[in-house]
Amino acid sequence: MGVKVRERGGAWWLFINHKGQRKARRVGKGKQGKKAAELAATKIAARLAEGGPLVLEQEKPPHVVATFAQVAEEWLHKYPALHAIRPATLDNYRSFTTQHLIPALGHLAITAITPTTIEDFIEAKRGPGGSIRFQGKPLSDASLRTGLLALRLILQRAVRTKRIPANPMHEVEWRGTPRIERVDPFSGAELRAILQSAREHDADFATLLQVWMQSGMRAGEVCGLQWQDLDLQLGTALVRRTWSRQRLGPTKTGHERSVAITHPVVDETWEWRPGTTETARSVVGGLQRLTVRPMDDPEAFVFGRGRVPLSSMDLHRRWRRALRFARVRYRSPEQLRHTFASTLLSRNAPLLYVQGQGGWRSAGVLLRVYARWMPQAHAGDPQLSVDGIPGATPAQLRWPLRGAAGGPSTM
């Protein structure tokens, strides 16, 4: 019987010869390896002397701690495969992770990410130089808020894969600037001036603007309209996709909705119901007179070129030109959506009707943003709460009856 410790190939080994059986095991390198091999040889020799079996424990591989970059890259690969996520949201997560999180935290072991580490990261991003796009400027709280959602999800994956015991984001102290909807609607006179200017210089774009003004759609939803979505007889459109970042996707809420495109938003009237004025109904004729209108391709885009939607760059270029010719103070084209909501609510349109038309997630969102445009006489008691919406009366929440006078139902 023999248990020997020898160095071979820069490492220390155990060699055992016992009752015709020969075994060998690599222990380790350097002084620590030699010490471990000698200790193991002593234990094995004692066990064999007592008649124990010749069994060598397998050498445990060294425990390797993953870096934050490794976990983040794994998450970027796994998360979209396991979750239904909007392409634009995924782009935001990926951009923030690769441009901010990995450069700042990627070299750290995942176990080294603490609440203090994250708070230091937030402080750096909110300070001068925090932005990548604008040198010397801080990163906006809106961008940081989105990025920290990605960080939370990355660390949560580390918890699920047993790399860390708990998510340090739960203990982070941070509160960004509250989100503020910058609502600056157009007046009726401004809308009419914009449409008149557009008709004189770009009739097709004037029709797009009228559809947008009278429907409350988002920019990407207008650009994503196909001819198969329109019912010109009823004056409605089925909103079921959006065109954003050169890519078609679902609507922001993920739900389809049918909307009327003949609300009298442009007219000087207290009527809100679709199709109640000749001006509002004229949008149908404008659609029928579009310069490019493929009659045999239902998947062609209404305001694009065949199956190619109108690009965001082209939309904004034509919008700026229309406002310049109309001599109307510049606001972003998304203010047309704010104008739609504020106009209908000011005319006492039911809250849930406006929510359904515009595709807002809840009536509460409308109240928070547009409550000041609702007629004071119908605003209700501020202490009253209907269906969890403070200050709303039942009449303001009620949908109009099907076939209500003045236009088709869009329920």
Q: How far apart are CA 411 and CA 400, in angstroms?
A: 9
- Topology match between the domains 68-171 and 188-397: no
Question: Which band of pLDDT confidence, cut at 50, 70 and 90, is reported for residue 411?
Answer: very low
pLDDT at res. 52: 66
pLDDT at 405 over 50: no
pLDDT at res. 3: 81
pLDDT at 293 over 90: no
pLDDT at 206 over 80: yes
Strand 389-390, strand 385-386: pairing:
antiparallel
pLDDT at 107 over 50: yes
Spatial contact of 323 and 194, defined as CB atoms under 8 Å apart: yes
What would the pLDDT profile of 122-132 be if each residue is shown by its tens digit? 999 999 988 88
* Region class of 406: left (phi > 0), else alpha (psi between -120 and 50), else beta: left
pLDDT at 407 over 70: no
Residue 377, SS3? helix
What would the pLDDT profile of 173-194 be if each residue is shown by its tens digit? 888 776 666 889 999 999 999 9
C-alpha torsion 99→101→104→106, nearest 10: -110
What would the pLDDT profile of 56-93 be if each residue is shown by its tens digit? 555 454 556 889 999 999 999 999 888 877 787 888 89
What CATH superfamily classification does 68-171 receive? Tyrosine recombinase, N-terminal domain (1.10.150.130)
pLDDT at 392 over 70: no
Q: How far apart are CA 215 and CA 197, in angstroms?
A: 20
Range with the poorest average pLDDT among 133-142, 172-181, 244-253: 172-181
pLDDT at res. 393: 47
Range with the poorest average pLDDT among 85-89, 113-117, 183-187, 329-333: 85-89
Q: Which two structure tokens, joined as six digits, stand for 179? A: 């989100």
pLDDT at 397 over 60: no
Q: Which carries the bigger pLDDT value, residue 14 or residue 76? A: 76
- Top mean pLDDT of 29-33, 177-181, 251-255 is at 251-255
Across all residues in the chain, what is the average pLDDT? Answer: 83
pTM of the predicted protein model: 0.63
Q: What is the H or E stretch that residue 166 is in?
A: none
CA separation (Å) from 362 to 195, 339, 382?
A: 31, 18, 19
Fold classification of 188-397 is: hpI Integrase; Chain A (1.10.443)
Domain positions in the chain: 2-49, 68-171, 188-397
